[in-house]
């Protein structure tokens, strides 16, 4: 297979954008100038760089600390190319999550262990299934 397109899903604040930020950071896919910008924008205390900001490209998203619409990120390893869709967790932005899910081969569903499975978790999981995504990673 040449490309893997995947989407992160789950409730608000369960860590979708942070996971993607971390993945991009660990695979050396964030450019130095982008890292610099992230550092400046990081508002969280005790945190050097808030990696979730890499996908939150809209001013409103950064100000409110939430994802509103899908952001697409691209990176490659030697074996394969990846397209990541970072989805919003809020119920009111579900239509945006569906857009990203429809073009994904894999869905990564994140659950905050402290909160357990929430309505949004279930909603995203069933959308993934309805859309026809065959593979899921639950984390």
> Which residues make up the interface to other proteins (CB under 8 A)?
2-3, 31-34, 37, 40-41, 55-60, 68-74, 79-81, 83, 95-96, 98-99, 102-103, 131
Q: How far is the CB of 11 from other proteins (least distance, A)?
A: 20
Q: How far is the CB of 15 from other proteins (least distance, A)?
A: 19
Q: Which is nearer to other proteins, 55 or 121 (CB)?
A: 55
Q: How far is the CB of 72 from other proteins (least distance, A)?
A: 4
Q: Which is nearer to other proteins, 97 or 125 (CB)?
A: 97
Q: Which is nearer to other proteins, 3 or 122 (CB)?
A: 3
Q: Which is nearer to other proteins, 19 or 83 (CB)?
A: 83
Q: How far is the CB of 44 from other proteins (least distance, A)?
A: 17
Rounded CA-CA distance 134/53 in Å is: 29
Three-state SS letters, the chain: CCEEEEEEEECCCCCHHHHHHHHHHHCCCCCHHHHHHHHHHCCCCCCCCCHHHHCCCCHHHHHHCCCCCCEEEEEECCCCEEEEEECCCCHHHHHHHHHHHHCCCEEEEECCCCCCCCHHHHHHHHHHHHHCCCEEEEC
Q: How far is the CB of 49 from other proteins (least distance, A)?
A: 15
Cα dihedral sign for 17, 138, 12, 98?
Answer: positive
Q: Which is nearer to other proteins, 104 or 120 (CB)?
A: 104
């Amino acid at each position: 297979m040449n490309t893997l397109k995947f989407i992160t899903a789950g409730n608000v604040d369960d860590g979708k954008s942070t996971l993607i930020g971390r993945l991009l950071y660990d695979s050396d896919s964030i450019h130095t100038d982008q890292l610099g910008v992230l550092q400046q924008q990081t508002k969280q205390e005790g945190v050097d760089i808030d990696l979730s900001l890499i996908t939150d490209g809209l001013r409103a998203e950064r100000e409110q600390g939430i994802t509103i619409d899908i952001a697409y990120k691209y990176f490659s390893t030697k074996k394969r190319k990846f397209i990541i869709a970072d989805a919003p967790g809020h119920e009111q932005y579900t239509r945006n999550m569906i857009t990203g899910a429809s073009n994904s081969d894999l869905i990564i569903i994140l659950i905050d262990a402290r909160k357990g499975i929430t309505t949004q978790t279930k909603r995203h999981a069933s959308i993934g299934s309805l859309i026809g995504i065959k593979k899921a990673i639950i984390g």
